Copies of this chain bind each other. A is one copy, B any other.
Amino acid sequence: MKKNLAIVLDIGGTNIRLALVSSERGILHKLKEPTTNEPLKTIHRMLEVASEIHTNELAGIGIAVAGIVDRQSGVIVKSPNLLSLNGVNLVSEISQNFNLPVLIDNDANAATYGEKTCGAGMKYENFVMLTLGTGIGGGVVINNDLLPIAAEIGHMTIITNGNKCSCGNTGCLEAHASARAIVDYAITRLKSGLESLLATLYNGNYFKITAQDIYRIALEGDSLARDALREAGKSLGIGIANVVNIFNPQAIILTGGLIGSWNIYVDSAIKEASRRSLPELFTKTTIIPSLLGDDAGIIGAANLVFRRFSQQN
């Protein structure tokens, strides 16, 4: 009997998603709930739904989580946006309740494997993926395989005395190029009295401004909004240059909400990266958007399950 179904639990800072994935037909069902400050409760509620799936086609369960995981032990070592999960061994907890093998990986790593197996990375032996959202994550494929490394590319220091990062360090790529960094940049300047159409949004409640708002207003020609995206893009370009010089990948695949503002944010990143990378390596690297978008993590986690467990059941 071929085991061609996987249950995936995708635990992010904003949403927790449960999916049933077929190795041939992709995502069959998806459930989504907002992440609260009690994610474990939501996770258990969703797993109750999953326990209703009665079929012997299930190969296993894959967990993708926003944070540092210990793949061997199954422990969530540190999840800055899901503090109550720190130290929790979700693999052994879930294994006890399901008669199925369980694996865990970082969400950006799972998404990278998704793009490798079914997305923009299929044709590349070597590529690096960067997830550009509230935070910045990464994953690396070398010789057609996902490297089992942390790949916390968002926490690479690029500016010695730069912005404070959520990780405690200063000058991380994430502190200068993420959606959060773009919004912070804009708010600081609005507060200092700089003029911008952004000041007219939300009755002047700056803290409701999102990176999407900034992009929309930037398209109207607003200087402050354009500067916010361009500055963040320049920082992203430094990150990309470092990735090029270290991994000399055939491609860098960009994903996450921020790639919506490709023509300002990503374009200035590419310009900066071309200045900073070793030219012999940069000219061999293509920079492209992901194909699977938000679903990459779910598809990648499922394919990790099929790869590891399909033979064993």
A interface with B by C-beta (< 8 Å) = 68, 77-78, 126, 138, 142-143, 147-153, 155-160, 162, 167-169, 235, 238, 241-242, 245-248, 275-281
Contacts and interface: CB of A to CB of B under 8 A. Distances in A.
Given A157-B242, A158-B158, A159-B160, A142 B152 contact: no
Q: Which 9 A-B pairs have the closest CB atoms?
A: A150-B248, A152-B245, A156-B242, A155-B245, A159-B160, A169-B276, A77-B280, A78-B280, A157-B238
Copies of this chain per assembly: 2
A66 to B, nearest CB: 14
Contacts of A77: 280
Contacts of A248: 149-150, 152
Q: Which of A149, A246, A279 has the most CB of B within 10 A?
A: A246
A179 B147 CA distance: 32
Contacts of A68: 278, 280-281
A247 B140 CA distance: 10
A157 B276 contact: yes
Nearest to A248: B150
Contact of A169 (B151, B157, B275): B275
A278 B152 contact: yes
A237 B142 CA distance: 26
Given A78-B278, A147-B147, A169-B276, 4 more contacts: A151-B246, A153-B246, A156-B245, A157-B242
A166 to B, nearest CB: 11
A281 B238 contact: no
Nearest to A145: B143
Contacts of A277: 169
Contacts of A156: 156, 242, 245-246
Given A160-B158, A169-B275, A150 B242 contact: no
A245 B277 CA distance: 20
A156 B276 CA distance: 9
A233 to B, nearest CB: 13
A105 to B, nearest CB: 14
A264 B41 CA distance: 50
Given A68-B280, A142-B149, A150-B281, A157 B247 contact: no
A121 to B, nearest CB: 16
A141 B42 CA distance: 39
